[in-house]
Structure 1
């Protein structure tokens, strides 16, 4: 579960890099490779498993480094540039990237809650 959420966060952030900085859609190859993480559900549970948490965290760190590199190439005015977004409604890059980081914060909260519940269960068994 933790790996799935970390991996999904990585792919979401990568997809926003592609959309906002490269100004393109994900390719068919990228969708085939990462579609399970974007959609999650049963496909994600089947495909995203079997690795140590550090594997997923390393992946997330690599994508974050790239995001930070991309942000160094734009100025503050870029954040307020509007483009069609959800349902072709206008949104600026500030809103789009706020969504990425808000999603990560939500997942981190979920992971913390699950860890606490697991810790309590382990303590009760001992």
Structure 2
């Protein structure tokens, strides 16, 4: 992530123009997510407002899991395998399962997972061009969606959860 160009939605060497712009937006969203979590302790990452909410740690892992799932769907043209569901399912589903299984990790654990998945996303984006973004598939409610929308949703979902992270963080100071 080039911090000198964090506020530019622009071309990025090695990527086609529209994919560059998508990456620019993803980079900014990730930058703000990381800023919202800077310095958090394990206890803060595990903090629950109440028994129905998700922790900051779970929301961070959810962002990595969503991005991973969209790699599988758009580049692999498949659903997650049983093994992948075992690894990513609690973070994708969140709720009781996420609260039970996603805890006790330091901030670097979540950052490493986010970075591993993002590195793979960039490797995959380097193999396609702007026309690939127009690929359409049946999506939510059996409506057509293109890969551009699906990848927009990846960082739109992260931005939504970043708002939750900021709210949770205010609860414990």
> Is 1:7 matched with 2:61?
yes
Tell me if 1:97 matches 2:151: yes
Deviations for 1:28-49, whole angstroms, at most 9, x for unmatched residues?
A: 1111222111111101100000
After TM superposition, the structure 1 = structure 2 runs for residues 26-105 of structure 1, keeping only pairs within 5 Å, are: 26-105=80-159
What CA deviation, in whole Å up to 9, does each residue of 1:47-70 have, x standing for no partner?
000111211111011101111111
Q: Distance in 1 between matches of 2:153 and 2:56?
A: 20
TM-score, normalised via structure 2 length: 0.65
Identify the structure with the greater helix proportion.
1
Unaligned runs of 5+ in 1: 120-126
Distance, in Å, in 1 between the alignment partners of 2:83 and 2:169 is: 35
Q: Unmatched 5+ residue regions in structure 2?
A: 1-54
Aligned mates of 1:117, 1:24 — CA distance in 2: 40
Post-superposition shift, 1:17?
Answer: 0.1
Equivalent residue pairs, number:
119
For residues 86 and 106 of structure 2, the distance between their equivalents in structure 1, rounded to whole angstroms, comes to 23
What's the Cα RMSD here? 1.1
